[in-house]
Structures are given as structure tokens and as C-alpha cells.
């Protein structure tokens, strides 16, 4: 496997176990400033445990959609990848600084602007619906092989290879029903 996964690190309008509710657009300024490369991928929010990098972070109608790749050259990365593929680890959790919020009824706090620092793969996410999933279905092995092949061909960090790979993977994945996240 190549360490690739997708998921939702945050869901809009859903209260987490700490009574925070993230509003649509809360990540926009931070993502515009930092981009995916400026947000760290950690294990269990431990800054001593970077385990990969984010390929894409974007807001959609549901929440903060993420696409990342675990670094399999790192021991912890191999362990996390194995746990994810066997279903033992799938939680995502955001590390951030609140820039703007407002109180809501019932003790909830609505987060209107967030400075996103890191997203971690965790055992127990504070937002139970924040989950990651590894590729599945009949197109998944081919999609992973194409990604790995494209990375071998393209110079490291080449921006021109990414859109081609993304379009190819999207075309292959369109025949597979989308994975639902709980």
C-alpha cells in the first residue's frame, strides 16, 4: 500500500464532545494562508510524531475534507498505516487556535474563524464523525498503483504531475460508490 487516505477532519454544524460547533468558512483564511503544506500531520497530537503530509485540505458542504499520505519510511507511519488498513485507527482531530467565536444556546460555542495548525490521526476524536478512510473497492488498487507510478516519474514536488494524477484517480474512482463516513 502507499499510505494514501481521505476523510473529514471536521464537520460543519455538528457539536463535538467539547461543545464546539465549527461553522462553514471557519478554515478559509487559515487554509488560504498556510495551504496544505503548512498544516502538519501528526499522530495523537504529538509534535514529536509527524507521520506524513497533507496533499489536499479543502472545505466542502459537509466539512473539512482531507487527503493525505502517511510516510512509510517512518516507523510510526508504517504502524499507523497498518492500523488504518485493518480498521484499528480511523479518527481525525484538529489542532487549532480560535480566532473568532460566539456563544450559542445550550453551552455550545460556535467557531467562526480558526487558525489550523495540525490535523492528527487519533484513536478517539473529539468529534466522533471526524474519520479517515483508506481507498476501497475495485478501483482502489489501480488508483494506488497509478499514484505510486506518477510519483516515481515526476520530480519531487512537481506541481504539474498532481492534477493529472488527481484527474486519473477521480475518473477511476467514479465507478466506485463513495465511502460514507460516520
Q: List pLDDT tens digits, range 22-49.
A: 999 999 999 999 999 999 999 999 999 9
Radius of gyration of the chain (CA): 16
If pLDDT is split at 50, 70 and 90, which confidence band does 154 have? Answer: low
| Rounded-to-integer distance, Cα 117 and Cα 63, Å | 17
Asked whether residue 178 carries a pLDDT value surpassing 50, the answer given is: no
Domains of the chain, start order: 4-133 (3.20.16.10), 135-182 (no CATH)
Q: Are 25 and 32 in contact, with CB atoms under 8 Å apart?
A: no
| Displacement of CA 96 from its chain's centroid (Å) | 14
Q: List pLDDT tens digits, range 77-97.
A: 999 999 999 999 999 999 999
41 membership: H or E segment, kind and range: strand 40-43
Beta bridge partners of 119: 41, 94
Q: Which residue has the cell 484538529?
A: 94
The Cβ-side half-sphere exposure at 154, using a 13 Å CA radius, reads 16
Rounded to an integer, the average pLDDT of 164-172 is 43
CA distances from 21 to 95, 106, 116, 133, 182 (A): 15, 12, 15, 23, 17
Rounded to an integer, the average pLDDT of 141-148 is 55
Q: Are 84 and 64 in contact, with CB atoms under 8 Å apart?
A: no
| Rounded-to-integer distance, Cα 27 and Cα 57, Å | 10
Amino acid at each position: 500500500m502507499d499510505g494514501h487516505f481521505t476523510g473529514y477532519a471536521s464537520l460543519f454544524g455538528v457539536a463535538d464532545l467539547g461543545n464546539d460547533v465549527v461553522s462553514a468558512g471557519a478554515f478559509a483564511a487559515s487554509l488560504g494562508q498556510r495551504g496544505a503544506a503548512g498544516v502538519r500531520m501528526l499522530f495523537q497530537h504529538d509534535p514529536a510524531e509527524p507521520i506524513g503530509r497533507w496533499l489536499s485540505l479543502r472545505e466542502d458542504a459537509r466539512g473539512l475534507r482531507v487527503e493525505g499520505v502517511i510516510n512509510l519510511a517512518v516507523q510510526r507511519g508504517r504502524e499507523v498505516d497498518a492500523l488504518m488498513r485493518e480498521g484499528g485507527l480511523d479518527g481525525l482531530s484538529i489542532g487549532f487556535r480560535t480566532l473568532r467565536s460566539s456563544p450559542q444556546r445550550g453551552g455550545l460555542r460556535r467557531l467562526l474563524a480558526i487558525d489550523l495548525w495540525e490535523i492528527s490521526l487519533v484513536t478517539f476524536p473529539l468529534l466522533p464523525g471526524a474519520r479517515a478512510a483508506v481507498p476501497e473497492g475495485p478501483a482502489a488498487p489501480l488508483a494506488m498503483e497509478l499514484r505510486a507510478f506518477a510519483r516515481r516519474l515526476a520530480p519531487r514536488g512537481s506541481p504539474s504531475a498532481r492534477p493529472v494524477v488527481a484527474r486519473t484517480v477521480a475518473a477511476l474512482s467514479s465507478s466506485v460508490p463513495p465511502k460514507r463516513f460516520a
